[in-house]
Amino acid sequence: MAYVNALNSGSADGLIEVGGVKDEKWSRHEAEQILADKGGRGWKIKDVQVEHDMGPDTGSARLMAEDKAGKAMRDTFTVTREKGAWHLVVFTQQPAESGKESASTDKPSS
């Protein structure tokens, strides 16, 4: 799995590629945060389950891995297909596209 390979090699480029996001300042910064948290630990995949439970171009992936020290990692990702390529949704800080408003998380006032 390219995600685990990117973590093990400490590759921000690999994370950006598997995430299907543009190589920009925000994505590079978030990739570095992911690598600081999970990178370079010699992860070995124990199990991966992918389900097309949200349609033909969207699904979920459950990953179970273990690092060199035996510490377990369990993660669930949304997977999306764009132009025939599958990507893991690992980036959460992607800015809204210009001209589009992001959804408000404010509580409605009464």
List, for residues 35-65, the tens digit of each pLDDT value.
999 999 999 999 999 888 788 899 999 999 9
Higher-confidence residue of 109 and 46: namely 46
Each residue's pLDDT tens digit, 75-85: 999 999 888 88
Arithmetic mean of pLDDT over the chain: 86
Measured CA distances, 26 to 10, 14, 29, 69 (Å): 17, 15, 5, 31
Q: Mind spelling out the 3-state secondary structure of 24-57?
A: CHHHHHHHHHHHHHHCCCCCEEEEEEEECECECC
Higher-confidence residue of 89 and 53: namely 89
What is the pLDDT, as a whole number, of residue 93?
Answer: 84
What is the pLDDT, as a whole number, of residue 100?
Answer: 45
* DSSP 8-state secondary structure symbol assigned to residue 101: P
Measured CA to CA, the distance from residue 76 to residue 62 in angstroms comes to 4
